[in-house]
Amino acid sequence: MRNPKLLIGGLLFLGLLIFALAGPTIAKSRTKLKDPLQISAYTPYQAVSDEIPIGSDQLGRDAMAVFLYGMRLSLGVGFVAGIVGTLLGVLVGFVAGFVGGNTDTILRVLTDMFLVVPTLPLLMVLSISVDKWDLLTIGLLLGLFSWPFVARTVRAQVFSLSQRPFVDLARLNNENSLEIIVQELIPGLLPYIFLSVSGAAVGAMLAEAGLQILGIGSGNLATLGYLMAKAMGAGALGGGFAGQVLLPAGYLTLTFLCLNLINMGLDEQFNPRLQTTAHGE
Amino acid sequence: MKNEEKPEEKSFRSRLQRYRPLARYLGNRFGVYLFTLWASLSLAFILFRFMPGNPMAMSVTQLQSNAGLIVGADKAAEYYREKMGLNEPLHIQYLKFLKNMIFGPFDFGHSFVKYPTPVNEVIGRYLPWTLGLFTTSVILAWILGTAIGALLGWMRRSRFASWAIVLTTLINITPIYVLAVFLLLGLSYKLGWLPSGRPYDAQMMPSWKWPFIKSVLIHAILPVGTMVLVWSSGWILGMRSLMVSVLGEDYLAYARAKGLSPLTILKEYAFRNALLPQVAGLAIVLGMSLNGAYIIEIIFRIPGLGTLFANAAALRDFNTMMGLLVFSAFTVLTGSLIVDLAMPLFDPRIRRSDA
Amino acid sequence: MTQDTPQEAVLAIRSLSVVYVGRRSAAQAVTEVDLEVQNNEILGLVGESGCGKTTLAVAMLGLIEPPGKVIGGAVQIRTHDHSTQDILKVKPSLHRQLLWKEIAYIPQGSMSALNPVKRVREQLTDTLIEHGLKKNEALERARWALQVVSLDAAILERYPHELSGGMVQRVAIAGAISMQPPVLVADEPTTALDVVTQRSILQELVSIREKFGSAILLISHDMGVMAQIADRIAVMYAGRIVEIGSIHQVFASPLHPYTKKLINAIPNARGRESGERLIGLGGESPNIWRHPPGCRFHPRCEFAIERCSQQAPVFTSPNGSSGQRVACHLY
Ligand SMILES: Nc1ncnc2c1ncn2[C@@H]1O[C@H](COP(=O)(O)OP(=O)(O)OP(=O)(O)O)[C@@H](O)[C@H]1O
Ligand SMILES: [Mg+2]
């Protein structure tokens, strides 16, 4: 890997991932409580002390512990949504580009519709009817809204590939053109697929926190967005609990930064337009 | 006789012919608009009937259980059972719903929580805030972002431009609410330069008098500033890469070979061409921007649609939520349509045919 | 310096070198090119694809952009008012005035040379206006130029996508001649056009030379095109000029082994099939990042002697002072 963006982004992301996975262990090691997330261990929004460096949350939990556990949950939501969104997007994009004709038109209008219509209101409506607010459900729900971008890219790729002469040739020879396209397509598409998983994951983490800020979500799934939103709602910024907002916000932003660095690095490696020096040495 | 008529008819025909692609484009856009609008309405209808727990029926039951607590709740429940015809066959319900949407127009009935105020009226009360702040921010961000992006693209080989791009990328990937929080914390709580946390001075009564307007404007600086900062960064990055690719086009090399001044090349050749996708992009991002605007409203406590949405969701006021859902889609779709319809002004290839 | 004609050259390229800068090294795209274009002549520049013709053309207009870089040389042009200017050294504002007025460029692949969102009228008049014409003069001039290249003035109100490829090419030529520049650089003006259109475009160039006395540097990889209209011909290989002479000299008695191969590769000439074209040269096509030492052609040359791989040949005139010159150790 010669690309510095890819390298730095990748290493940093690895670090964040390890931190997230180690979060619960760290939380356990730095508290006397049996369950670091014990409710009402403190009074809600108890002032900052050595024991609770960023105060307690509105359920009286150690906010630091909530943060340490929350990283894993937030990444998990993003991961599930990213996978779901990408699978859906690849499927829709592939069918549209490969089958063409009316199917393509319909899928394209559908994709554009999902791109254009504001999704947050839809998500709000859907999520208030979710009674089991857990990682998988939320990830799935958010994933349902993150496929249009992927679908667009994949469709364009499949479409341009299926226009190439060798595919026509294969058709004439009665060979299986689907197989050829898949074989030709997959290698070229891999960076896009990674791009889309991480893009969809970022989108989902953003949306999840957004939902929390809009007051939807529950303490069962105390993601970073949850911690941040509740603290903000309680006036944390003016009230000395800024850490409860800044810490999760910082972690999320850093994660987005890494994923974006990786994406940009991938883009640079696969998109010659962005290269600044002559090639062919 | 025939021979004399023909040329005239032909020229008229051919003049019409020339605008056929334009007509087709406009017709196409409008068709897609109507279709998408219909699809959104239907989606809303389906959502509100088939969501787990059937919110429509649920809310009626809820109203009944609230009888005595909320004034007129029992009457409302009765009214809704009848008006929504929850026992009627589904297709009748659907047709009635469409009728209320089209001929109402947008008749969502009464707000459950603020009974008997119609949802329309409730939305109308919150709408000006959203429309004002959101529209201002979207337009400001687009103009600023496009202009700055064009300049950075033009100076693509300068050191300054590459640093500016790094900074812009950083802003762009920061979630809008994180930026909002940082700005709020820094400029408002720590430095005390700008007011926040309310839409206008607490002592004032809304009116069209200057002191009030001034107060609104000052309070709007932070939320609008946040939105403009984040959104314009996206436009900057987009416009820059458009410019970079336009600057690599043959017609640009040719423009240079013609000895045109850099200013003309920038304005008439590079900018004008890079602008097209940038305008088209505006039609696409409105929805996503509205998502952000709703969150911003909550953070800055602005009584707009986002706040209303959050309140309605908390109180399970399904009628209002449905109204907001449809209304959000309608706003964004109409905005997109306007942008799309303006596209031919920028692109002659849509406007005219191959004669 | 040879003096084929008593006249002074309108355009003189002196030892011009252009590289493309890479991460670690630089590619020698054009190396120490010397060329003179005389008044009222059509000088052909031939060479296979990738040998540096466009790079040379762009460099002589002073328009090389990164990653390209001019590393040496001069381009002297004799202007309308009989002063001599070095295009590579003049200040930007004068440079812009020289372009189009003194030396105009007809780009390769003109199809994409016009801005798709501006009318032909705007694209012709904006340049004329920036070169000092008044608005109505500019419009008049644009009409006139279109007429010269046999186009209807109604074209002015069209957008590029409403024109055919041949029409676009003519518009590009009309633009280039609108200020009657002493020098025209036409980069493969006929590629991608059908044979009939090709011929009429070439005819257009010849008549322009006759009407206005412009010198034309005509770039092509097609020896056949050259045979039709060029007065003199320069053969380029891997960034260097290897042979130059009048059209009769070069076709009747080519000196450089590469020139011979080019002539033999003309379709249907001397009874050959069109199958044997430039690809039939044999050997690897040159890599500008790594030129062989000595004569750049020696790896593909059947007459190569030991010296060819050690020492770069210099120009000689083996046939006396006839004006035909070649850079080859065989002479
Ligand atoms: N922007 C660039 N960056 C790097 N290398 C370049 C660039 N432009 C041209 N080259 C290289 O320089 C060499 C000469 O290119 P040039 O376009 O001048 O060839 P040409 O003789 O005009 O070919 P053709 O007949 O195909 O037009 C080629 O090997 C090409 O790969
Ligand atoms: Mg070329």
Which residue has the least CA distance to atom 16 on ligand 1?
C52
CA distance C63 to chain A (A): 17
Q: What is the pLDDT of residue C268?
A: 58
Region B39-47 average pLDDT: 87
Instruction: Let me know if C293 is exposed, middle or buried by CB neighbors in 10 A (0-12, 13-18, 19+).
Output: exposed
What does the alpha-carbon distance between residue B251 and residue B32 come to, in Å, rounded to a whole number?
34
Q: Is A172 in the pocket of ligand 1 (CB under 6 A)?
A: no
Q: Which pair of tokens denotes residue B231? A: 């959104």
CA distance C145 to chain A (A): 37
What does the alpha-carbon distance between residue C110 and residue C100 come to, in Å, rounded to a whole number?
16
Q: What is the pLDDT of residue B32?
A: 87
Give the domain extent around B252: 129-196+222-314
The CATH architecture that domain A61-272 belongs to is Orthogonal Bundle (1.10)
Q: Which pair of tokens denotes residue A214? A: 């809009």
User: Considering only alpha carbons, which residue of chain A is nearest residue C24?
Assistant: A281
> Is pLDDT above 70 for B64?
no
Q: For B168-215, how does the pLDDT look when each residue is reduced to its tens digit (9 = 90+)?
A: 988 988 888 888 888 888 888 777 777 777 777 777 777 778 888 888
Note the pTM of the prediction, 2 decimals.
0.84
Residues in chain A with CB shorter than 8 Å from the CB of C22 are 277-281
Map tokens 């020139």 to a residue: C259
Q: What is the pLDDT of residue B7?
A: 45
The dihedral built from the CA positions of residue A52, A58, A59 and A60, taken in this order, carries a sign that is positive
CA distance B9 to chain A (A): 36
The type of residue at B236 is: I
CATH number at B298 reads: 1.10.3720.10
What does the alpha-carbon distance between residue A192 and residue A154 come to, in Å, rounded to a whole number?
8
Region A176-191 average pLDDT: 71
Q: What is the pLDDT of residue C55?
A: 95
Gap from CA of C225 to ligand 2 centroid (Å): 15
Which residue has the least CA distance to atom 9 on ligand 1?
C55
Residues in chain C with CB shorter than 8 Å from the CB of B352 are 159, 162
Q: What is the pLDDT of residue C276?
A: 45
Query: What are the residues facing C106 on neighbouring strands?
Result: C186
Query: How many structural domains is chain B composed of?
Result: 1
Distances (CA, A) of B114 to A242, A262, B63, B317: 35, 49, 12, 9
The type of residue at A225 is: G
Map tokens 């070649």 to a residue: C326
Asked if C180 and C149 touch (Cβ cutoff 8 Å), the reply is no
Mutate to test the pocket of ligand 1, among C23, C28, C51 (most ligand atoms within 8 A of CB): C51
Q: Which pair of tokens denotes residue B92? A: 């009748």
Mutate to test the pocket of ligand 1, among C30, C105, C288, C290 (most ligand atoms within 8 A of CB): C288
Q: Is C187 in the pocket of ligand 1 (CB under 6 A)?
A: no
Q: What is the pLDDT of residue B1?
A: 39
Q: What is the pLDDT of residue B56?
A: 57
Q: How far apart are the first and last CA of chain B?
A: 28
The answer to whether ipTM exceeds 0.95 is no
Residues in chain A with CB shorter than 8 Å from the CB of C287 are 280
Asked if C59 and C30 touch (Cβ cutoff 8 Å), the reply is yes
Q: What is the pLDDT of residue C59?
A: 95
Q: Is C160 in the pocket of ligand 1 (CB under 6 A)?
A: no
Q: For B8-37, how does the pLDDT look when each residue is reduced to its tens digit (9 = 90+)?
A: 455 667 767 777 778 888 898 899 899 888
Q: What is the pLDDT of residue B346?
A: 83
Q: Is C20 in the pocket of ligand 1 (CB under 6 A)?
A: yes
Residues in chain B with CB shorter than 8 Å from the CB of A117 are 36, 40, 287, 328-329, 332-333
> Is pLDDT above 90 for B98?
no
What does the alpha-carbon distance between residue A214 and residue B314 come to, in Å, rounded to a whole number?
9
The bound ligand whose nearest atom lies closest to the alpha carbon of A279 is 1
User: Considering only alpha carbons, which residue of chain A is nearest residue B157?
Assistant: A276
What does the alpha-carbon distance between residue A148 and residue A155 come to, in Å, rounded to a whole number?
10
What does the alpha-carbon distance between residue B317 and residue B322 come to, in Å, rounded to a whole number?
9
Q: Is C54 in the pocket of ligand 1 (CB under 6 A)?
A: yes
| Contact at CB, B348 and C159, closer than 8 angstroms | yes
Q: Is C29 in the pocket of ligand 1 (CB under 6 A)?
A: yes
Q: Which residue, C317, C238, C245, C224, is CA-closest to C32?
A: C238
Residues in chain A with CB shorter than 8 Å from the CB of C67 are 276-278
Q: Which residue, C259, C235, C232, C222, is CA-closest to C9?
A: C232
Residue A58: count other Cβ atoms within 10 Å of its Cβ: 16
The bound ligand whose nearest atom lies closest to the alpha carbon of B253 is 1
- Closest ligand 1 atom, residue C48 Cα: 25
Asked if A93 and A153 touch (Cβ cutoff 8 Å), the reply is yes
Which residue in the set C100, C112, C115 is minimally distant from B269, CB to CB?
Answer: C115
Neighbours of ion ligand 2 (CB under 5 A): C 54, 108
Chain mean pLDDT for chain C: 88
Give SS3 for C42.
strand
Give me the percent of chain A exceeding a pLDDT of 90.
15
- Confirm whether B269 is domain-assigned: yes
Q: What is the pLDDT of residue C126?
A: 94
> Is pLDDT above 50 for A48?
yes
Q: Which residue, C324, C282, C275, is CA-closest to C301?
A: C282
Map tokens 């900062």 to a residue: B229
Neighbors of chain B with 3 or more C-beta pairs under 8 Å = A, C
Which residue has the least CA distance to atom 3 on ligand 1?
A278
Half-sphere exposure of B340 (CA within 13 A, CB side): 22
Region C173-183 average pLDDT: 92
Q: Which pair of tokens denotes residue B175? A: 């979630």
| Contact at CB, C20 and A278, closer than 8 angstroms | yes
Which residue has the least CA distance to atom 6 on ligand 1?
C20
Q: What is the pLDDT of residue A188?
A: 67
| Contact at CB, A214 and B291, closer than 8 angstroms | no
Beta strand segments in chain C, E: 9-21, 26-38, 42-46, 68-78, 84-86, 103-106, 183-187, 215-220, 232-237, 240-246, 315-316, 325-327
Would you list the domain boundaries of chain A? 61-272
Asked if C46 and C243 touch (Cβ cutoff 8 Å), the reply is no
Q: For C100-146, how does the pLDDT look when each residue is reduced to its tens digit (9 = 90+)?
A: 999 999 988 767 889 988 999 999 999 999 999 999 999 999 999 99
Top pLDDT among C203 and A268 is at: C203
What does the alpha-carbon distance between residue A171 and residue A167 come to, in Å, rounded to a whole number?
6
Instruction: Let me know if B192 is exposed, middle or buried by CB neighbors in 10 A (0-12, 13-18, 19+).
Output: exposed
Chain mean pLDDT for chain B: 83
| Contact at CB, B257 and C117, closer than 8 angstroms | no
Query: What are the residues facing C187 on neighbouring strands?
Result: C219
Gap from CA of C44 to ligand 2 centroid (Å): 14
Q: Is A278 in the pocket of ligand 1 (CB under 6 A)?
A: yes
| Contact at CB, A280 and C21, closer than 8 angstroms | no
Find all residues with CB under 8 Å of A146, minimum gap 6, and list them.
A81, A82, A84, A85, A89, A199, A200, A203, A204
> Is pLDDT above 50 for A57?
yes
Half-sphere exposure of B16 (CA within 13 A, CB side): 5
Residues in chain A with CB shorter than 8 Å from the CB of B175 are 206, 209, 249, 252-253, 256
